[in-house]
Amino acid sequence: MDAIETMRAIPKKHDFFIGIDSDGCVFDTMEVKQKECFCPNFIRCFGFQAASKYAREVWEFVNLYSKTRGCNRFLAVARALELIAERPEFAARHIPVPPMTDMRAWIKVENKLGNPTLKALVNAKPTPELKNLLAWSEAVNADIARTVHDVPPFPGFREAAEAARKQADIIVVSQTPFEALDREWKENKIDDLVDFIAGQECGTKAEHLQYSAVGKYAPDHILMIGDAPGDCKAAQKNGVLFFPIVPGCEEQSWRDFLNTGLPRFFAGTFAGEYQTKLLADFDRALPELPPWKK
C-alpha cells in the first residue's frame, strides 16, 4: 500500500480531525536542528567556509526567522542559494554559488521531497551536483540522530493533545523524515496520542491533510496546528482551519489552544472573527524581507 492509500485508510473514530506539525510546534527542536545540524553541513558541502557568517545568517533567516520557516529542506537550499547569490559578500570573496539546475528541476516535479526519491534520482542521474546534495542531506540526518535527544514537548502540548483526543482523530503532519519523527515521539512516550505519523516520505503537508481528512470530515471539523506559514498554507489549500503555534510564544500558544482554540473548534465557533485574528497575529510574527535588505 502506497503512502496515499495508507493515509486514506486511517480509521475515522471521531467527527473531528487535527493535524499537528512536529518540529518547532510540538518539540523545541528547530533551533538545535537548524543551527547544529543543517547549517554547518550546508556551509561545508556547498563551500561557503570563507563567508560562513553570511551563509549562516541566510540559512537561519530562511529556516527559522522568516515566512519560509519550516519549509522542506530542499526548498530551503534553493531559497538560501537565491539569497546568497544576491549578497555582495560572496562575490567579493570570489565564492561561486552553484546554480543547482538539476535540483531545481527535481523540486518542480517531485512531491515527495526526501532522501528516498533523491537517491532514486541520483541512481538514474549521478551528477556531481545531485550526489553532493544527497551527501549533504544524509550528513544532516546523521547529525540529527547524534545530536537531537532528550528534547521534551513544549509545556502544555500533552494536556492539549489529551483533551483534543477525546473528540478528534489526530495525526502528525510534517516534512521531517519519518525515522526522526518516530524516534522523537516514541522517546517522549507521546506516540500514543496520535493515530498516524506522516513525514516527508508521504508527500507535502497539504497532501497529508488532503488524503487523510478531506472528504472524510466536514471542512470546519478539520484543523491544522503549526508554527510555520507553510502549515497555514497547507490548511488554506484544503479549505480547513488553522491554529498557529507562534515562534517564541509556543507555551502561551498551547495554553491558548487548550483554553480557547480547542473549545471553539469543537463548538463550531472557530471560523470567522477568531480565525481571522489568529491569522493576522501570526502573519506579523515572521518577516518576509531579510534584515540585510532593510
- pLDDT at position 1 is 67
- Tell me if residue 196 falls in helix, strand or coil: strand
- Using DSSP's 3-state secondary structure scheme, residue 70 falls into coil
Give the helix/strand (H/E) hosting 254. helix 250-256
pLDDT digits (tens, 9 = 90+) for 248-284: 999 999 999 999 999 999 999 999 999 999 999 999 9
pLDDT of residue 3: 82
- Is residue 294's pLDDT more than 80? no
Query: For the chain, how long is the longest CA-to-CA vector?
Result: 60
Query: What are the start-end ranges of the H helices in 72-202?
Result: 73-86, 88-92, 101-109, 115-124, 128-147, 157-165, 178-187
Work out the burial of residue 59: count CB atoms within 10 Å of its CB; fewer than 13 is exposed, 13-18 middle, 19 or more buried: buried
User: Which fold is adopted by the domain 3-28+153-285?
Assistant: Rossmann fold (3.40.50)
SS3 243: strand
Buried b (16+ CB within 10 A) or exposed e, 10-45: beeebebbbbbbbbbbbbbbbebbbeebbbbbbbeb
Whether residue 218 contacts residue 239, with contact meaning beta carbons closer than 8 Å, is answered with: no
pLDDT for 187: 93
User: For the chain, what are the domain ranges?
Assistant: 3-28+153-285, 30-147
The alpha carbon torsion through 127, 128, 133, 134 (nearest 10 deg) reads 70
Sorted by sequence, the CB contacts under 8 Å of residue 126 that are 6+ apart come out as none
Q: What is the mean pLDDT of the chain?
A: 96
- For 109, residues 6+ apart whose C-beta sits below 8 A from its C-beta are none
Q: Nine-digit cell at 86?
A: 544576491
130-187 pLDDT tens trace = 999 999 999 999 999 999 988 999 999 999 999 999 999 999 999 998 999 999 999 9
d(CA 206, CA 238): 7
CA 172, chain centre distance (Å): 11
Res 68 pLDDT > 90: yes
- pTM: predicted TM-score of the whole model, two decimal places: 0.86
